[in-house]
Each structure stands twice: as C-alpha cells, then as structure tokens.
Amino acid sequence: MMESSLKNVLVLSFGFLLLFTAYGGLQSLQSSLYGEEGLGVTALSTLYGGMLLSSMFLPPLLIKRFGCKWTIVISMCCYVAFSLGNFYASWFTLVPTSILLGLGAAPLWSAQGTYLTIMGNTQAEKAGKVGRDVVNQYFGTFFLIFQSSGVWGNLISSLVFGQTPSQEAIPEEQLLSCGASDCLMATASTNSTQRPSQTLIYTLLGIYTGSGVLAVLLVAAFLEPIKDAQRKREGDEGPPFWSTLLSTFRLLGDKRLRLLVLLPMYSGFEQAFLAGDYTRSYVTCALGIRFVGYVMICFSATNSLCSVLYGRLSQKTGRAALYALGAVTHLCCIIALLLWEPHPRQLAVFFVFSGLWGVSDAVWQTQNNALYGVLFEKNKEAAFANYRLWESLGFVIAFGYSTFLCVNVKLYILLGVLSLAMLAYGTVEYLEAKKAARPAAAEQAKPAEGEETETAM
C-alpha cells in the first residue's frame, strides 16, 4: 500500500514540475518579451488579480464538485491556455488567458494541499504512524521536486535564446538607462535590437506548451482519485460556501492577523520586482534576454537549497532569527541595487543579486507559512486563504505600477514596505512573548490569592 501512496505523491510532484517548468519560464520572460505598452507586466497583474478573486471562493466549490484529482486536471488546463495565448501575444490573447490561469491557480494549490494531506493521513492510519509526520514528509518530497521547476524552465529559455546568431554589443548609452535609473520610457524602442527571432520564440513556446500538456496527461492517467475518509465518516458536506468566505474576513478581527497582512503583501512585492523589474531593467537591458534564464536559475537554486536548510535551522534558532536574516539580506540588496550601475563587464554581480534574493525569499516562503499555521492553529484554512489573498494583492499592485514608475521609486517602495512589515512582525512576536509569559506569572500568583481568601473568611 505504501508503494501506491508514494506513487501518487510522485505523480503529483512530477505533474507540477512539468507544469511549472513552463509557467516559471514564461513568467520570467513576460516583461522582457512584451515590453510594448507594458503588455507583459499587465498580463501578470491581471493574472494575480484572477488568482485573488478565485482564492476567495472557487477552491471549495470545485473540490466539492469534481474531487481533488479532476480539480487539478481542470486547473492545469488553464495554465496550458496561457502558454497557447503567448503564441499570438496581444492584449486580446494574453490578458484573457492570464485571467483564466489566475482563476485556475487557487483551486490547483488548494486541491494539491488537500490531496497530499488526505493521502498522508490515510497512509499514516494504515501504517500506525502520526498523521502530521507523514503529511510533512509528503509535502517535503513534493516541494523538493517542484522547486526545481524554476531551474528547468529558465534553463530551457536560456538555451533556446542562446541560439540567436547576431549578438552585437549593447550600446553604452543604453547601459546608462539600465538599473535603478530605468524609467521605461527610454528603453521601449532601444531594446528591439535585442529581441530574439520569432522562430526561436515559437520554439520555446512549443516546448513549454508540450510540457504543460504532458503534465495534464500524466495526472489524468496516473493519479488515483481520493475520497476524504474523515468527511464521509461524519456525514458532513463541509461548511457552506458563504461561511468559508466570511471566515476568511472574520479572521481579520484578530489583531495579530491585521498586523501580519504586510508580510504576505511584501512577499508579493519582492517576487514581482524580481520577475518583472530585475529581469527587464537589469538583466535584459544590460546583458540581453538570453541571460534572463541563467540569472533566474541562480535564484531558484538558492531558494530551494535555503528552503530545505531553514526547515532544519528554524528548530535550532527560532523563527525570529531567520526573519532578521531575510530582512537584512533584502535591505542590503535593495540599497545596493539603488546604487549599482549594471554593466556587462560585471557579469558575476547579476548572479550574486539573484542568489541573495533567493536566500531571503526562502525565508518569507517557509517562515510565513509556518507562522500563519502556528498562530492561527484553529482557523488554518481561513488563515492560509488570507495569506494567498494578501500575497496576490501585493503581486497585483506591484505588477500594476510596474509600467509607469521608475525602478528607483519601486526600490524605495520595497524599502518602505519591508520596514513596516518587519515593525509589525516584531510587534506580533512581542505580543506572543508577553502572552506566553502571562500564564506563567498567573500560575505563580494563584496560590497567594488562595491564601488571602482564606484569611478573609
């Protein structure tokens, strides 16, 4: 039996790997490929807008109606539609398909989480193990395989775009408007010399679409459908839709959650900066589009390694130390990016920045999820729905203003949001520490009170 449940975990993991190989590579290239009138970043902004809307209500509806397996298959088809939309990139193809992808994203991730959790608990029951341990092991396996998708998707894009025959040097005057001084108005026309041939773009999109179709077929053919044993036993249909939606917002009554909305929002801002602005205004502008993939591989690799590492580390150091590491790393990167004038001669520096970005992004990805899970133990679903909601909002805002703000302004915004988020996080940790200290103090005070009442009698 162990074999079959492990088989399902692997099928799911490799399905996601194939799907996100395509999507991850496409997301990194949107801003560089479709710079005209900001089509690429607008598509990404509407994509996360769709995700924001769907995360409010779609997942429970779809999972209840189709079950986990078919929800995953249907959602994956939305991702494939986006790759197809890229073949004829225009406002009429990219924006609708990106909305479709956004709508599919929330059910996809909810179904994946639900599937692995039920799978782990069922397996643990059979093997007489602790449910949580098996679930963690399954999630660990899944993310280890899934995280490498960033590497493969970007590797394919750099290998394909590396085929460009003429690679003339980028003119010095264009280099002056790269980096923090990039205001987009100047580079709209100059970058056309660096655009890869349409044949190469079609080759890349063909590979990506094939990868996505393969993912759909793999999951449809080999993933076993699963029944939620616990629900069946209680004869419970799950809470009705409106109560799910309301519980998401009701949780905002918790002061701690109100303080913590900035963390997921910052996570959206910083990922959007890397995917939309760093790739275009630093890498494509100064090195050419064929380097985007290689630079993003460096981010994906450090991100994956650190994610594994922090899981081990957090048990020894506690989460506050990791948050400090993430914040300081990002702080240094942001200040350095403001001062740095990118030049092809400093090739290594482009990789150092994306690597360091991966080191601190891994803190937000691993610790924010753990923090929400621990603080809102009783309302996990509502807490994670809130997390996705605010993170998507961060993406929407950041990709949204991406078209009309200078890069240095975006970096100042990142600096401001990071500072506020850390201030709010510190406040929550302080409140938690005080709350932990209070019961202990109350315990010591109790016997004394008891004696007083006796004397009063």
Most confident residue range from 52-66, 372-386, 403-417 = 403-417
Do 21 and 95 have their domain in common? yes
Do 284 and 156 have their domain in common? no
Q: Is residue 339 part of a domain?
A: yes
Do 214 and 355 have their domain in common? no
Structure tokens at 156: 């394919």
Query: Would you call 166 helix, strand, or coil by DSSP?
Result: coil
Do 348 and 382 have their domain in common? yes
> Half-sphere exposure of residue 364, counting CA atoms within 13 Å on the CB side?
26
Q: Indicate if the pLDDT at residue 129 is higher than 90.
A: no
- Helix ranges, 236-346 (H): 241-250, 255-260, 262-272, 285-286, 292-317, 319-339
Compute the distance between CA of residue 361 and CA of residue 307 in angstroms, rounded to an integer.
Answer: 9
Q: Indicate if the pLDDT at residue 349 is higher than 70.
A: yes
pLDDT of residue 185: 52
10 Å CB burial of residue 310 (0-12, 13-18, 19+) is buried
pLDDT of residue 373: 81
Do 206 and 316 have their domain in common? no
Mean of the pLDDT values across residues 312-329? 90
pLDDT of residue 166: 61
pLDDT of residue 358: 94
pLDDT of residue 449: 43
Number of independent structural domains in the chain: 2
Please indicate, yes or no, whether the overall pTM of this predicted structure exceeds 0.95. Answer: no
pLDDT of residue 452: 41
Q: Indicate if the pLDDT at residue 2 is higher than 80.
A: no
The CATH number of the domain holding residue 342 is 1.20.1250.20
Structure tokens at 417: 């949001």
Q: Is residue 177 part of a domain?
A: no
Do 8 and 125 have their domain in common? yes
Q: Is residue 171 part of a domain?
A: no
What is the per-residue pLDDT across 97-124, written as a single tens digit (0 to 9) for each? Answer: 999 999 999 899 888 988 988 888 888 8
The Cα-based distances of 57 to 60, 63, 189, 265 in angstroms read 7, 11, 42, 20
Amino acid at 390: W
- Provide the 10 A C-beta neighbour count for residue 205: 20
pLDDT higher at 303 or 353: 353
**Which pLDDT band holds residue 194 (cuts at 50, 70, 90)?**
low
pLDDT of residue 165: 66
Do 280 and 149 have their domain in common? no
Alpha carbon 235 to its chain's center: 35
Q: Indicate if the pLDDT at residue 191 is higher than 90.
A: no
Do 280 and 220 have their domain in common? no
- Provide the 10 A C-beta neighbour count for residue 412: 15
What residues have CB less than 8 Å from 455, skipping those under 6 apart?
none
33 and 225 Cβ atoms separated by less than 8 Å: no
pLDDT of residue 455: 39
pLDDT of residue 219: 97
**Which pLDDT band holds residue 235 (cuts at 50, 70, 90)?**
very low
Angle CA 398–363–358, to nearest 5:
65
66 and 114 Cβ atoms separated by less than 8 Å: no
Q: Is residue 377 part of a domain?
A: yes
Using CA atoms of 194, 199, 203, 208 in order, give the dihedral in degrees to the nearest 10.
60
pLDDT higher at 246 or 364: 364
pLDDT of residue 456: 43
What is the per-residue pLDDT across 271-282, written as a single tens digit (0 to 9) for each? Answer: 999 999 999 999
Q: Is residue 443 part of a domain?
A: no
- Smallest CA-to-CA distance from 20 within 217, 301, 270, 214 is with 214
Do 131 and 39 have their domain in common? yes
Do 11 and 87 have their domain in common? yes
- 3-class SS string, 180-231: HHCCCCCHHHHHHHHCCCHHHHHHHHHHHHHHHHHHHHHHHHHCCCCCCHHH
Percentage of residues in the chain with pLDDT exceeding 90?
49
- Smallest CA-to-CA distance from 283 within 73, 32, 11 is with 32
Compute the distance between CA of residue 109 and CA of residue 20 in angstroms, rounded to an integer.
Answer: 12
Mean of the pLDDT values across residues 27-50? 89
Residue span of the structural domain in which 419 resides? 248-435
pLDDT higher at 223 or 127: 223
Structure tokens at 377: 């133990």
pLDDT of residue 189: 43
Do 283 and 354 have their domain in common? yes
What is the per-residue pLDDT across 155-187, written as a single tens digit (0 to 9) for each? Answer: 999 999 988 766 677 788 888 889 988 886 544
160 and 204 Cβ atoms separated by less than 8 Å: yes
Q: Is residue 448 part of a domain?
A: no
Do 140 and 94 have their domain in common? yes
